[in-house]
Chains A and B, each alone.
Chain A
Amino acid sequence: MAVTLRDVTKWFGTVRALDGVTLDVGKGEILGLLGPNGSGKSTLLKVIARLIPPDDGSVVRPPAGRATMHGTGMLFDHTAHWEALTGYENAWFFARSYGMDPEAAHDRLKGLFEAFGLRERLGDPVSGYSYGMRRKLGIIEALAHDPSLILLDEPSIGLDYRARITLAGLLRDAARQGATVIFSTNDVSEAADLADRVALFDRGRLLVSGEPSALIRSLGAVVMIELRLKAPIDTRPLEEIPGVEGIGAEERGEGFSITVAATPDGLGPSSLLARVVHAVAAQGGEVVGADLRAPGLPDVFLAYTGGESGAS
C-alpha cells in the first residue's frame, strides 16, 4: 500500500475532526474523499501530508523521511502564491525547490502552462490572476515535479470545464505511472467520474469506501423515482408499495420533493412510477413533475450522510 491509515483521530479543541479513520490507498490508485462540509476531508489530507500530526493512530506512507516529502505534491484549499512574482516564477520556485533540474523544470512547466491555457499569462504577476488562474497555477505547482503522492483539496473549484478535463487526464496519466492520487471534493459527479474508489466521510468518520459502481449497487435500488409536488404529504404509505426500498423527502422552495429508491421486481419501472404517483395522489398530493433514473453516487452520498432526500 502507498498510504495506510490506522485508527487516525484528530481533535481541534472539542471538535473531533477525524474519528478513528482506517484506510488503505494503493499505488496507482485514485481515491476520492467525499463528504459534507466539515466532514474531515481536508484535515485527512493534511494528516497524510504530515502537515498536522494525528492525536491518535498511525499514518504510514513509505518511504519515510525527506524522500517522501520530495515525492508529494499538494494542492491546498487556499490560493496562496508569491503575489509579486509571475506565475512562471512561482511555479519555478516550487519546481526547483522540489529538486527538478532547470532544463527539466522549464520543459515541464511550459507544457503544464500550455495545457491549462495559462501560457500567455505566465509572465504576468500573480497579483493580476483571477481565482481560477490561481487554482490552475496551484495545480501546476503540485504536479510539476511528478510526485508519487498527489494530494488535492477540492481541485475542481474555480476551474473551467476544459481545465477540469485537463486535470482529470493528468491525474489518470500520473496514476497509470504509479502515482497515488487522493483528492477531496464536494462534487459527487467529479468523484464518480475520476475516482477508482470513493471514501465517504461524515463528522470525521469514514462511513464507507469502495468503487463508485459497488457503492451504488450497495443501495439495493435499481431505479430512482423523483417526484415534485406542490405541497408536502405523508410519505409513509408509499413504503407499503412492493419494491420500494427507501424514501426521502425535502421541501424545495415553494414545493416538495420525494425521492423513491426501488427495485421493481416483476414490474416495469413505468408501472412502478404509476403506482407511486397513484399513492401520492391518494395522499392528496399534486404531482407537478416526475423523473425516472438510475441511482448514482449522489444517492449514495445522501443515503450515507443522512440527507433528507436520500434513500434510506
Chain B
Amino acid sequence: MRPDSLFQKEIITDLRDRRGLFFKFALPAALLLPLIFADLPVSLPATGITVAVIFSGVFGSSIGLVRLRENGMLERMAMLPISPRRLTAGYILANTLLDGAQIAVPLAAFLFVHLPATPEVAVSFVSAVVAANALGVIVAAAPGSSGEGHLYAIVTVMAAIALSGLVTATPHAQGLLPFWYLYATLLAIPGTFPLSPVALASLILGSALVISPWLFGRSVGSGG
C-alpha cells in the first residue's frame, strides 16, 4: 500500500516498525494483564487501563507531532493543498485506531474476567481514546522545543489522571473528562452518565481541529 494520505502514512509507518509495534502491544499487556488476572480489587486494573489510554494517547500523539514539527515535516505539510483540520483528523484517527488496538487486548481480558462487555464500555473506551489523542494534538500545538513538548505531555497526562478521579475522587472535575466515564463503566458504577463521553470527546476533538492551523504553522483563517 502506498500512502495517499496522512492517515495511511501513519498506519503504514506504525505497521512497518516491527520492533516499535511489538513494544506498543507488549508493554500494555505486560503491565495490565498481571493486574487483571491477580486477585486484586477491580478498581486497580480499571485504573490501569484508563491510565494506559490517557498515556498512550496524549503522550504518543503529542510527542509524534512535536518531532514532526522539529524535523520540519509539519512545515512541509503546511504547503499541501489540504486543510490542517483534515490532516489533523487523519492523524488522530490513525493514532486512535493504533492506540485502541494496543489496549484492546488487556481490555478484552478485563471484560472476560470482571464483567460482560456492554455498549457503554465500548462507547466510553472509544471516546477516551479519541479524546486522549486529541488532547495530545492540543498539547503539541503549544510552541516549544522537543524537551518542552515532553514536559507539557507529562504534565497533561498527570493532570488528566488526577482530574479524572483515578487517584482520589474529584467530584467537581471528573465528570468533565471522558476518561472518568471509561473508568466508571469498567467498574460498572451505576448512573455514571450525567454527561455523554461522546459529547466530551467531541468537544476535545473539535478543539484540536480548531487549533490545528497553529500546529501546522499557519495562522487561523489563512486558508489552504
Binding site for B on A (CB under 8 A): 49-53, 64-67, 69-70, 72, 74, 76, 78, 80-82, 84-85, 88-89, 92-94, 96-99
Contacts and interface: CB of A to CB of B under 8 A. Distances in A.
B79 A53 contact: no
A53 B219 contact: yes
B79 A72 contact: yes
B3 A85 contact: yes
Instruction: Specify which of B2, B3, B75, B219 lies most central, judged by the most chain A CB atoms within 10 Å of its CB.
Output: B2
Nearest to A141: B76
Interface stretch (B10-18, B120-128, B130-138): B10-18
B3 A92 contact: yes
What interface size band does chain B fall in? 20 to 34
A97 B79 CA distance: 10
B73 A53 contact: no
9 contacts: A49-B79, A51-B79, A64-B223, A66-B224, A80-B75, A85-B9, A85-B12, A93-B2, A93-B3
B81 A80 contact: no
B79 A66 contact: no
A78 B71 CA distance: 8
B12 A51 contact: no
A194 to B, nearest CB: 22
B4 A70 contact: no
A92 B222 CA distance: 26
Secondary structure call for the A interface: loop
A85 B81 contact: no
Contacts of B3: 82, 85, 89, 92-93, 96
Contact of B217 (A51, A94, A96): A51
Q: Sort A-B residue pairs by CB-CB distance and give the 7 closest, nearest first.
A: A66-B224, A80-B72, A70-B81, A78-B72, A80-B71, A69-B81, A96-B4
B196 to A, nearest CB: 35
Given A50-B222, A93-B9, A98-B80, A76 B2 contact: no
B114 interface: no
Contacts of B79: 49, 51, 69, 72, 74
Contacts of B17: 84
A93 B73 CA distance: 12
Contact of A51 (B2, B71, B82, B218): B218
B9 A66 contact: no
B186 to A, nearest CB: 34
A143 to B, nearest CB: 13
Contact of B2 (A53, A84, A89): A89
A88 B1 CA distance: 12
Interface in B202-222: 217-219, 222
Nearest to B1: A89
B81 A76 contact: no
A98 B12 contact: no
Contact of A65 (B9, B78, B223): B223
Given A85-B12, A89-B2, A96-B4, A69 B219 contact: no
A97 B80 contact: yes
A99 B81 contact: yes
